[in-house]
Chains A and B, each alone.
Chain A
Amino acid sequence: MSAPAPGRGQTGRKMRDALLAGGPLARHEGPYFGDFGGRFVPEALIGALDELETHYRKALADPAFSDELERLHRTYTGRPSPITEVPRFARHVGEGVRVFLKREDLNHTGSHKINNVLGQALLVKRMGKHRVIAETGAGQHGVATATAAALLDLECVVYMGEEDTQRQALNVARMELLGATVVPVTIGARTLKDAINEALRDWVANVETTHYMLGTVTGPHPFPEMVRDFHRVIGDEARAQMLDETGALPDAVVACVGGGSNAMGIFNAFLDDPQVRLFGFEAGGEGIASGRHSARFSGGAPGVLHGARSYLLQDEDGQTLPSHSVSAGLDYPSVGPEHAWLHETGRAQYRPVTDDEAMQAFRLLCRTEGIIPAIESAHALAGAIKLGAEAATWAQDGREPVLLVNLSGRGDKDVATAAAWFGLIEPEPVLKADEGEQL
């Protein structure tokens, strides 16, 4: 690690120190998280992954990098994002339970995804590449990537399952307005996993000029570790904010888990505080028994997909099973390997939330607090409600139990889905995979 260059901003050094600080769990490095993680990718990509890791480690140790990232977060993203106590919502969680939201929904582009893409885009400039590709489900990561690409003058191609381009038509337009090319993926189940397949194929063919801006804590090493580190800012801020507001750490931290980047980002700051319970809520879809869900920990098993060993929805042959969720951003058959590790070690608990529970929580937050959450984040809110009775038992020394919920994104993109769900408008026709083509 080189000494900070003279004349660098204090804030940049603070962010670098935060990135380098933390206990042993928080700073755990890849490629393996227990039995999970690794690099299950074609040899052709290994050189690019090594290059990425080298540049990432150099950047971490370079104050100029953290200065620039911190400046962008302060002047462009709008960080720090506030925490908001939501007492009217909390009444539905449990008597005497306090609930705080970490407001990633207030970031530029409307979700936590911007944290990661700005970090990776700065790395792309350092690597001398000029083209970025990305996958997107809900469109949040695609929009964030297109935004960073516009800001830093990078060519941008976003792969998006055809079904998702229809569910999230507004986000497609948003990406195109930002100058990105959106490629609808028409093979397989036409959702996020198929978009990742296409992005990986593009990357293998164009790796010399192109960086794959992977949007979550999945994929081959170093992505799970690097993306987590770029999202650590969520937890680092929230930890300090909770201490300021309540004088103590929260009793539990709650997040939704698709690939798991927002959850990893907020969990990270609390991993080494064993008294803080960590809860990840997966998309239970129409219920685990229905088979139509994205609950990898409740309905999956360890396996390899998209470069990492983790928990996976798969059939008895190891073929990937289609996932389902009302929320495009949680509709993914695997999950970040660090989550698999936290699950196996028991450090975090993962539970399913159904489509219906999530939508009820969505409406509840709208009506009690005037905040329209992303449907993804509504899974965390529903999870908080389900934790209510349990939370009441956590009170100690006369202090009310405190939940910190990561509100990972805002719901503007979901208004049409929600309006159709609650019968406010006629449902839009949604493209389905042909029968027998749920591959």
Chain B
Amino acid sequence: MSVTDVRSATGEKLAELAAGPAPRAALIGYLPVGFPSVPGSARAVRTMVEAGVDIVELGVPYTDPVMDGPVIQAAANHALAHGTRVPDTLRVAEQVADAGAPVLVMTYWNLVLRYGVDAFARDLAAAGGAGLITPDLIPDEGGEWIAAADAHGLDRVFLVAPSSTPERLASTVAASRGFVYAASTMGVTGERATVGERAEQLVADTRAAGASRVCVGLGVSRPEQAAQVAGYADGVIVGSALVRPLLEATDESAGLDALAAVVGGLAEGVRSASRNPR
């Protein structure tokens, strides 16, 4: 299902970057809502956009984040322990919608189910959000979300993994809008010494399955890794490496400075990539 009658904010952003005078991949930055505080997370998002993030991924803190490693778990635990609620995500999305980068929300599925799938889509669209990334929802279980995303004009970013069969790549690509999230490795979020070597093959396979845009996440933390991934993917997704400076900072302003420095390096990496011909 290639839905062309619904505009895709992230798809347009990726197309714009790929068609510019210096074509390049996007830098996609993840931060959890409510860390270090709800207003603090909005400031952190603005900081990372100003420092070079092209697309924002807002994480909704959840009690049982099975796709997340220790860094993001620690931030989510902090956010929940300090009273962060699901509607805070919609508020932060609204506050950062004019920062210059499309805002995707990454959420575990029970939070959306509890809110009401259509209601969440409606309120996210009203807040200026671009769509959802759903790490524990496969398209097979996503009928209600697929309909709600169409009704409210939102992107649906589903994941593919190195273990995905050609059939599953095809069905996931068909259900996605905006881009397809390729998990670089079999594992959870976190910084790794190397980006999974299967990532490049997975991007190629996902394109062969019909995807026009494929972004790579999991394990990307350093500028040279960003450059490497930007050579073959449409976007480079970074999470834990952006959360860590906030986690380790002694105060908010130091955290934002450190965040900006990390983003600056990654943005440099993305811009320095030598792009493989498609």
Contact = CB atoms under 8 A, between A and B. Distances in A.
A63 B163 CA distance: 31
Chain B residues touching A, range: 35 or more
Contact of A319 (B109, B111, B159): B111
B135 interface: yes
A44 B86 contact: no
A201 B114 contact: no
Interface stretch (B21-29, B181-189, B255-263): B181-189
A362 to B, nearest CB: 31
B89 to A, nearest CB: 10
A205 B165 contact: no
Given A46-B164, A205-B186, A439 B136 contact: no
B80 interface: yes
Among A41, A187, A320, the most chain B Cβ lie within 10 Å of the Cβ of A41
Given A43-B168, A205-B187, A439 B77 contact: yes
Interface stretch (B12-20, B137-145, B147-155, B223-231): B137-145
A96 interface: no
Contacts of B85: 317
Interface stretch (A303-311, A409-417, A419-427): A303-311
Interface in B165-192: 165, 168, 172, 183, 185-188
Contacts, number: 118
Nearest to B158: A43
Contacts of B6: none
B163 A38 contact: no
A187 B77 contact: yes
B119 interface: no
B250 to A, nearest CB: 21
Given A201-B188, A205-B186, A439-B81, A316 B114 contact: yes
Contacts of A318: 86, 110-115
A42 B161 CA distance: 9
B64 A47 contact: no
Contact of B113 (A41, A201, A303): A303
Interface string A18-55: 00000000000000000000111111101110000000
Given A43-B160, A47-B164, A48-B163, A303 B114 contact: yes
A312 interface: yes
A197 B168 contact: no
Interface string A308-349: 000010101111100000000000000000000000000000
Interface residues of A, number: 37
Nearest to B87: A317
Contacts of B110: 303-305, 312, 314, 318, 320
A361 interface: no
A321 to B, nearest CB: 8
B67 interface: yes
A208 B64 contact: no
A193 interface: yes
A39 B66 CA distance: 14
Nearest to A319: B63
A339 to B, nearest CB: 18
A40 B138 CA distance: 7
A436 interface: yes
B73 interface: yes
A187 B64 CA distance: 10
A72 interface: no
B232 interface: no
Interface in B27-73: 62-67, 69-70, 73
A200 B66 contact: yes
A43 B161 contact: yes
A43 B172 contact: yes
Contacts of A170: none
A40 B110 CA distance: 9
Contacts of B62: 319
B140 A39 contact: yes
Contact of A44 (B69, B81, B165, B186): B186
A46 B77 contact: no
A320 B63 contact: yes
A299 interface: no
B114 A42 contact: no
Given A205-B188, A317-B111, A437-B81, A44 B63 contact: no
A41 B161 CA distance: 12
A188 interface: yes
Contacts of B65: 197
A207 interface: yes
B174 to A, nearest CB: 14
A173 B114 CA distance: 41
Interface in A368-424: none
A197 B65 CA distance: 7
A188 B186 contact: no
Given A39-B138, A318-B111, 12 more contacts: A39-B140, A41-B138, A43-B158, A43-B161, A48-B163, A187-B77, A194-B64, A197-B66, A204-B188, A205-B187, A304-B113, A319-B63
24 contacts: A39-B138, A42-B159, A43-B160, A44-B183, A46-B138, A46-B168, A47-B161, A47-B164, A48-B163, A188-B63, A193-B64, A204-B188, A205-B185, A205-B186, A205-B188, A207-B186, A304-B113, A306-B66, A307-B136, A314-B110, A317-B86, A318-B114, A319-B62, A320-B64
Q: Which 9 A-B pairs have the closest CB atoms?
A: A318-B114, A44-B161, A47-B163, A205-B187, A320-B63, A317-B86, A304-B110, A318-B111, A200-B66
